[in-house]
Amino acid sequence: MDRLAAALAGGTSGPRLLVKRDDCTGLALGGNKARKLELLCAEALTEGCDVLVTGGGPQSNHVRMTAAAANRLGLDCEIALAPKTDGTPYSEDESGNLLLDHLLGARLHMLERGAYYDIEAGIDALAARLAADGRSPFAIPVGGASVTGVTAYVAAADELASQLGAERVDWVVVADGSGGTHAGLFAGLGHDVRILGVDVGTRPDLDEVVPQLAAAACERTNRPPRRGRALVDHERFGRGYGAITESAIEAIHMTARLEGLVLDPVYTGKAMAGLIAAVRDGRIGRDESVVFWHTGGAPALFAGRYASRLFSGS
């Protein structure tokens, strides 16, 4: 992304910016969850499960892609869905990922509260009800952030290393929702690359859970444990998960108009805002190399409350 790098450096030489296109993984418009679901769904099939159970917010890429994976494998899909932040009911004109959830046929169960731990409890309760009804549910945590899901990103770290070859990378920047992608990259690359996760407001304990999940993934994959704290930028999510911010709007416009690369206002736009801030304040040096890990999420651009803000901010 040389044009973006030059713009951030004021027209002079800036950091080398690369992008890892996990938005192009396929499976219902793509995203990073395809890697996790490959392993999670294999576990579900091995255990003889007949329904996938997970949860998230109305613009959750994980929910959308889990529904698609269930369809691909002939399984049912039941979702514990967080309520709207303003307390109003969902309606027929809802769009973005929520429209795709309906298109894919997932059965949505609206929760009374939408905090991270409320959603996790909702997933467990929904799986328990299905089991009591004689079904064989496979519960997947928010974002697929189980040890199995995290190991998918240990393998993704190996994939990145093979693509880079001898090229040096100093930083990887990624959206930090449930922490699983960050943890897998930390486990796979964290010995010599700084992994910066940009908090999008999903869960409050990223600083603790990312190293814990990384340690478990290292043990699962027989790798040496990674030492040190997680690098998490907690300054980009605004009023909370799904709340659009001015810095995300700027990042979305800059990246689209300089690189033809589409980001979203819930996840990758905020992650890019974190990268931009780190370059501007000198945390990322002009002689360093950065991989921006594009985790997907473009469907959220078409949700009405985001589209109007992005258009008016043009």
Does the pLDDT of residue 85 top 70, yes or no? no
Position 192 pLDDT exceeds 90: no
314 belongs to the catalytic site: no
Residue 58: predicted pLDDT: 85
Tell whether the model's pLDDT for residue 191 goes beyond 90.
no
More confident residue, 246 or 191: 246
Dihedrals φ, ψ of 123, to 5°?
Answer: -60, -45
Decide if 301 contacts 255 (C-beta within 8 A): no
Mean pLDDT of 281-303: 94
Q: Please determine, for residue 298, whether its predicted confidence score (pLDDT) is greater than 80.
A: yes
How confident is residue 156, by pLDDT bands cut at 50, 70 and 90? very high
CA atoms within 13 A on the CB side of 220: 20
Q: Do domains 2-28+146-312 and 33-144 have the same CATH topology?
A: yes
Q: How long, in residues, is the chain?
A: 314
Residue 265 to residue 313: CA distance in whole angstroms: 13
Burial of 304 (0-12, 13-18, 19+ CB in 10 A): exposed
pLDDT bracket for residue 11 (50, 70, 90): confident
Q: Is residue 188 over pLDDT 80?
A: yes
Confidence (pLDDT) at 270 = 98
Domain ranges across the chain = 2-28+146-312, 33-144
DSSP state of 31: -
Give the tens place of pLDDT for each residue, 121-149: 999 999 999 999 999 999 999 999 999 99
Q: Which alpha helices (DSSP H) does the chain contain, by range?
A: 2-8, 33-46, 61-73, 97-103, 116-132, 147-164, 180-189, 206-220, 246-259, 268-280, 304-312
C-alpha closest to that of 201 among 312, 85, 304: 85
Residue 311 banded pLDDT, cuts 50, 70, 90: confident
Q: Which of 60, 95, 146, 178 is catalytic?
A: 60
User: Going by DSSP bridges, is the β-strand pair 231-233/137-139 parallel, antiparallel, or unpaired?
Assistant: unpaired
* Token duo for residue 148: 């199995």
- Residue 278 main-chain phi, psi, to 5 deg: -70, -35
pLDDT in tens, 223-266: 998 878 899 999 999 999 989 999 999 999 999 999 999 999 99
d(CA 235, CA 198): 8
- Mean pLDDT value across the chain: 93
The partner residues of 55 in beta bridges, in order of sequence, read 80
Architecture of domain 33-144: 3-Layer(aba) Sandwich (3.40)
284 pLDDT above the threshold of 90? yes
Q: Looking at residues 156-171, what average pLDDT do you find?
A: 95
pLDDT at 92 over 60: no
Q: Is the pTM of this model over 0.85?
A: yes
Question: Could you tell me which CATH number the domain at 2-28+146-312 has?
Answer: 3.40.50.1100
Backbone angles phi, psi at 304, to 5 degrees: -55, -45
